[in-house]
Amino acid sequence: MSRKLCYAPMLAVCLGALACAPPMVLQRRIEGTKTAEAKHVIVLKSSDNPLLEQPLWSFVEQVPHQIDIFTLTSGTTGSAVAKALGASGADLVFTLGLGAATLVADHEKDIPVLFAMVPNAERHGLTARSNVMGVGLESPSVSDFMQFKMVAPKMKDVLVIYSEASSGPAVRQSKKDLVPWGVELLLAPAEDQAGVVGAYNDHRNQVDAVWLQNDPVVMNPRAFGFLRESTIKDRLVFVTSLSERFAEAGALASVSLDFSAVGSQAANMANMVLEGRKTAAEIGVQPPVGGLVTLNQETARKIGISVPEEVLPFLNRVIADTEQPSR
């Protein structure tokens, strides 16, 4: 990174005139370009969770302004943060994680607020504020399936087992969205493990694939284990969203979020606002772009599919088949 970093580790800094209990701990200051158009961006992390680092540094590398990076301290109130932000003269606040996003969005009405790494932004009231924009954490099903189809292009009829309470509206939307892409979702509600087993057994002969999406009824070790073993036995494609760990554990393929791309997407949104090209309201909340595709070649062999060699360069990770290497 060519930009100058000023370290202030563990230095508690009150941005406002707060005498004690500083609301945010300054971790780093990154100097921006010294031009008349130079702006000041504050980054506020909800915690020191390492997951936040990738989007953070991707963002920092692409926003050419002074950036002060803070982490929330425990017990911080929203009013204290708002006061501190007001005194800082910041042109934009970039929050990472749910805690920082809701705290700032609830109390800051003037400065543009950009969030990332927040699950269910709509549920947390982040989608209906004129000064708030962000990158959602929920990857669109169309995007996931475009990636799945690289490894299983013939996949057409796909079983989705889900909890109505947790995912009903989302899977119905996915069903609608995927029709133009040649994918027919077969929706099978279930509320517990017995329901998962029943739904699978009822529908396994009607589908050529099973999709594990972010739902507590199926995204747990028992249900995953059952679906992994059953799909291998029945030679069905088993694809999963959210985490590469599912492919590591035996699903054919997984698509997980590309956190670096999320940071880049956020940086583009920030630059548009800082350059006066668009407002936060015009940008709104966007789904994330980009996904990390992981293929498990051992599972591919077990279910009898062969992923074309020319596709391999386009995948992010290929878990080799250790039992039967290709030599």
Contact positions toward other proteins, by CB under 8 A?
A: 1-2, 57-58, 61-62, 140, 143, 146-147, 149-150, 153, 181-182, 258, 260-261, 264-265, 268, 271, 277, 286-287, 289-292, 309-318, 325-327
When the beta carbons of 71 and 294 are compared against other proteins, the nearer one is 294
Smallest separation, CB 109 to other proteins (Å): 27
Shortest distance, CB of residue 48 to other proteins, whole angstroms? 19
Minimum CB–partner distance for residue 103 and other proteins (Å): 27
Considering the complex, state which of residue 59 and residue 162 has its C-beta at the smaller distance from other proteins. 59
Looking at the Cβ atoms of 103 and 307, the one nearer to other proteins is 307
Q: Which long-range contacts (CB under 8 A, 24 or more apart) does 235-238 make?
A: 235/303, 235/304, 236/204, 236/207, 236/208, 236/209, 236/210, 236/303, 237/152, 237/155, 237/208, 237/209, 237/210, 237/303, 237/305, 238/209, 238/210, 238/212, 238/299, 238/303
Residue 229: closest CA among 207, 204, 254: 204
Q: How far is the CB of 275 from other proteins (least distance, A)?
A: 8
| Nearest distance, CB of residue 91 and other proteins, angstroms | 17
Longest dimension (CA), the chain: 69
- CB nearer to other proteins: pick between 47 and 316: 316
Residue 124 or residue 149: which is nearer to other proteins going by CB?
149
Q: Which two tokens stand for residue 22?
A: 């500083």
CA nearest to 237, candidates 144, 152, 307, 315: 152
Identify which of residues 24 and 63 has a Cβ nearer to other proteins in the complex. 63
Nearer to other proteins, 15 or 295 (CB): 295
Cα(69)–Cα(71) distance, rounded to whole angstroms?
7
How far lies 96's CA from each of 43, 93, 120, 159, 204, in Å? 8, 10, 14, 34, 41
Q: How far is the CB of 87 from other proteins (least distance, A)?
A: 30
Give the nearest distance from C-beta 293 to other proteins in angstroms: 8
- The residues pairing with 185 across neighbouring beta strands, listed in sequence order, are 158
Judged on CB neighbours under 10 Å (0-12, 13-18, 19+), 155 is buried
